[in-house]
Structure formats: C-alpha cells, structure tokens
Structure 1
C-alpha cells in the first residue's frame, strides 16, 4: 500500500453565531457563496459527518471505512478506537458562541451511550482587537448561585474572561463551562464527539426555547460541570529549526497541536505510532512523500497516515501550518521541550500534561 496525504470532504454547520469569515477572511474555497457558515469540519469521523476521501487511491471511501480497515497504518500502530481519534474544524465566532460545556468520558458512556466525551482546544487564527473568551469559573459557587446567574445571563459575574489574540491557544477539558466571540476565527481540535449542553435561552440556530426546556438544560449543565481546570490563552512554546519555527500550542492525552511557520523546506520524520493532520492557514505548500507530491492549498486540511513515512513540506516563500496528532506525551512533547530548556511549569501550562 502506497500511503499518501488524505484529503476529505468538508461538513458545514450553519449555527447562528457564524457569518462568512471562513470564506471571506480565511479564503477557504468551495463553500456556498451565500448564507451563514459557522463551522467547517475539516477532519471528521463522527457518525453521519464522517468525511469522504476526495483524492488518490481511496477517493470515494469514508474516513470511517479506512480507520476500520487500516487502523495501524492510518491512525497509528496499536490504535483500536471505534473512529478516527480527533475531529478538527474551522469555527467562525463572528458572534458570541453559546455558554456551554461538553460531557467528559465517563458521562458520555453513562448518560449518552457514546464512546468518549469532548475535550477540545481553540487555536486563534484571527481575533479583532478586544476579542475575548469566557472559560472556567471565578470561584466555588453554589449550584443555586450558578443557576441564578445563568437565568440572568450574567455570565461575567461567575466566569473568567480573557483577552485573546492571533496565535493564542486555549485548552478546554470536558466539563469546563466556556464560550468565545464575537470577532474571532478559530481552528478547533477535539475528541471525536459532538456532545454539548448550553445554558442559553435559545438553541444553536437562535430559536427561543420554552422556559421549561431552558431551565432543564441549565440543570443538565450543572450536573456535568467540572471545576478542576481553569483555561487560559497560551502563546505556546517555540522551538527553532533552522529558519523555521515550530510552536507547541497545546497538549494533553487526547491531542497535541503545533503551529509550523516555514520559510524553508521541513522534513517530518516517520511516526509509525501516530498520524498527523495538517491544516494550511497560509500560502500553498507542497507535500513530498515516497512516490508522490500533493499540494495543500489555503484553508485545506489533510491526514498524513502513520504509515506514510517521511514527508517534506516545501513552501513557495513561506507557509503557516497547524499540525495535530495524538501524542506520546513523553516522547513527542515533554522530551523535546525539556531539551530546549523549558521548565516543567511552562510545559504543564500547555494543557493536561503529567510530567512524571
């Protein structure tokens, strides 16, 4: 089998918080020319939103088919999950997202009969001056205090607000209450899940809920709320590789994210234990691999299968790529950052990392 960079169809969601930033500001091609585009799911193996391959020998097959047939070669040696391990999307927060949270693994299995919950991270592709995120609680509030604040829609009285700027990343474990926007464009990496519960008086499309349904949703959120982690924007930890810059943006047991700023070719070595996703948020870049070459255009994504071997990334002049993967935290994150001289506290600040 000659493995190659795998590109997938895009799944679109038209939630009320979006506008046209993914097409107009990011420059993603192939989208509808009119109407709201809140999310484009770039890499997905979630239920009926699994992507279909659009290039190469696997064209026409779904990502789910491939991960079932070739788990070791595609996802990584020893992978045994029921689906591709991460889901990635562009998210247009032209308007404020709902204040919401996602179930953790235990709740997902017990309550929703799904294999996992949804820990996520937001990499800020663009943010207007003054843009912010709301994430985590300011203090230990009672359930009644939280309920009353949500009914009053007084989110700032209980939640922490942080300013954000382009290049920041916010790691958000499952169960942590959060929102962001307006005026931001985000690349999100997450566990493969779409579980979520909101405290808002409207649904994701802006339709008002009855008071009974709204209050029931708030109580569900309070049942699933966790307070063990307070998210914060992080500018990342940088490694210099020649004239290229490699920035570790976030890391935890479910995923790691890096931002690659390339001014010269970069060779990514073989990683049989894991695949890599690449998303281009800059000028086109050429991907050379054993037996071929593939161009990754602006706002395009692909999967570099675990069995692909070395891949050489060749920018025309410069390139900005976002790389995602399920890490061996010690080997892929902790060791290179320690070697570069970063302290344990800095490394742990990237997310959920047990230095050991």
Structure 2
C-alpha cells in the first residue's frame, strides 16, 4: 500500500467558552457559522472518529484504518483499541471550566475505559494579560477545596501563570486546570474525553441544581492529584540551517514540537511512529514517494509510520506543530543533549527520564 498524508473530517464543538478565533485568527476554512469552541483535528474517540477526505482511502474512518493497519499507520509494533492521540484547536475567548481528567488507573477502575487523559497546550495566540490556572498552590484539605469551589474562588487554591504565544504547558492527568479568556490553543492529548468539572454550569451554560453541582465537585475531588504544578515553557530550540525545531513538551504519551520553516525540511522515515502535523501559518507542500499533498493554513494531517521520507516545502516562512509518540531517549534526550542541553533542562519539558 502506498501511504500518503491523511486528512480527516473535523469535529466541531460549540461550547459556550468559544467564539470565532479559529476561523478568524487561525484562518481555518470550511467551518460553520456561530460559536466554535473546539475543532477536533485528529480524533478516534468513539463516535467522533475522523473520516479520511483525501486520496484513495477517502471515506474510510481513522478507527477502521487503525485496526486494519496498526503497524503501517500508527507505528511498527504498536497495538491498541484506537488511534492513541487526539489533537484539537481550542478557542478560549471565555474562560474554560475548571476541571480535571482521570489518569489511566482511574479510567480503567472507575470508568471502564482503557486510558485517561494527559494533555498539553501550545499557545497560538494570547491577549496581553492572558493566564492559565493549573495545579494546586499547596496541600489543602478536601473541605477547604470544596469550600473554594462552591464559592467559585479558584484563585484561592489554584496556581495562576501568565502565558504568551509560543508557550507550551504539559498537564498530567488528575491535575485541575483551566485557561482563558482571550486565548487560542492547540491541544494534544491521549484519546479520551473523561472530565470532572467543579463549575456551577455545564459546557453549554446550563446551570446545575445544587445536588448535581456538589456531586460533580465531589467526583472531581475523588480524582484530583497534587503531584504537579504545570508551568508555561518556551521550549528548547534546535537550529538546522534556516529552520528551527522547538521542543515544547515530551512525555510517555506524546511529544510536541513547533517547526519554524524558512526552507525545505526533510522529515526522515520513522517506521516506529506516525506524526500529526498541524499547519498554523502559510501553505506547505508535502512531497513523498507516492506524490504531493498541499497543507493549508489551519489544516492537519497524519503522516503514517510507513510513508517514508517526507520533504516539507514552505511557501515563505511557515509554522507547523508536530506531535508523535516518542522514544524518549532517541527522539528527545539524545538530540537535545547533542545540542548542548543538560538533562535538568530537558526534564522541564514534561515527563522525561534518562534511560
């Protein structure tokens, strides 16, 4: 089979925290009118699995292809119930709910799902003064947290950080968080949609009655972890000719890089892993053994593991976000150490341990 960059249908979420940043500031085309809070770019989550829209595999779902061709699509030796990564653009014109996601153990034991949701945010645009909330300030009793959440006094217990475009925030499962307003984000995560919110309203602005709200807070407190205080990170930069790779985060589940391309860039063959590419700037052309694919601003695709080498040719300077499941030693530690970064610096990217 001749593999090529796979473009998928976009799943749109119209939650109340969104507005029109994704089409108007990012420049993504083909979206409906009205509020657009999220576009799920690459997804194999239940009924939100994407369908291929280009090439001879058009009409096949990502789920079908993952099950039929796991080695060629996801990576040599990989197996699992669905495509392991989910990527999205998020419009936080208004503040997101304060919430958290189950870790793998909780997902299996409490929700009967195979994995939880560790995620990372790459900030594409943030107005002056934009912030995130992520992690608890210190140790609090359950009663203190319950009181803060019922009073909607989130700053009394959560850490707030300023953010700017180019920052990445690695958020382990179980860590309570929010971001916005006035923020546009690319998110990479495990394939999951498990979440517990402590807010008095749902994602569509509907108000919970008090017993429902309090039950939600208690469910979140049952799953809350306090082992990590995520911080915005400007990334670790590698230079190659006129091009730059900025490593934004890395961990067991995924790595995120921002590629700033001023000239053609060769992405080498990686039979053990695929790559999700999202274009957040001007048009690029992807040249591969079987042909050429154009990737527009705001578009995403999957470079299958079996595609071989891909030459990425920008029309002027462009910015791409690349996400993949890394071999931490080979993909992260070794190239960054070769560039002069020490292990302590590399570990600030997320969950990176020397092997």
Please tell me the TM-score bracket, short chain as reference. Answer: over 0.9
RMSD value, Cα: 0.5
User: In the TM superposition, what are the counterparts of 1:5-154 in structure 2 within 5 Å?
Assistant: 5-32=5-32, 34-154=33-153
Matched with 2:308 is 309
Distance between the aligned counterparts of 2:34 and 2:208, measured in 1? 23
TM-score, normalised via structure 1 length: 0.99
Cα distance between partner residues in 1 of 2:352 and 2:204: 36
SS in 2 for 1:9: coil
Per-residue CA deviation, residues 179-235 of structure 1 (Å, 9 max, x unaligned), is: 000000000000000000100000010100010000000000100000111100000
Query: Deviations for 1:28-86, whole angstroms, at most 9, x for unmatched residues?
Result: 10001x21100000000000000000001100000000000000000000111111110
SS at match of 1:335: helix
Counterpart Cα distance in 1 of 2:336 and 2:205: 44
3-state SS of paired residue (2:117): coil
Give the drift of 1:169: 0.3
- Tell me how far apart the structure 2 counterparts of residues 57 and 113 of structure 1 sit (CA, whole Å): 36
2:261 corresponds to? 262
Is 1:354 the equivalent of 2:349?
no
Output the CA distance in 2 between the equivalents of 1:206 and 1:230: 28
Structure 2: runs of 5+ lacking an equivalent: none
Measured in 1, the distance between the counterparts of 2:331 and 2:260 equals: 18
Using the alignment, how far apart are the partners of 2:342 and 2:205 within structure 1?
Answer: 45
Q: Do structure 1's residue 274 and structure 2's residue 259 form an aligned pair?
A: no
Structure 1 stretches of 4+ with a deviation exceeding 6 A read none
User: C-alpha deviations, 1:324-345, integer Å up to 9, x for none?
Assistant: 0000111100110011110111
TM-score (norm 2): 0.99
Which 5+ residue runs of structure 1 have no aligned equivalent?
none
Report the secondary structure of 1:174's partner residue: coil
Query: In the TM superposition, what are the counterparts of 1:151-190 in structure 2 within 5 Å?
Result: 151-190=150-189
Tell me how far 1:318 sits from its aligned partner: 1.1
Equivalent in the alignment of 1:327: 326
Measure the CA separation in 2 of the matches of 1:36 and 1:340: 43
CA distance in 1, matches of 2:84, 2:322: 14
CA displacement at 1:18 relative to structure 2: 0.4
Give, in angstroms, the shift of residue 313 of structure 1: 0.3
Distance 2:131 2:213 in 1: 25
Number of residue equivalences? 355
Q: Equivalent residue of 2:56, what SS? A: helix
Secondary structure of the residue that 2:139 maps to in structure 1? coil
Residue equivalent to 1:342: 341
Deviation string, structure 1 residues 236-271 (Cα, Å, up to 9, x no partner): 000001010100000000000000000000000000
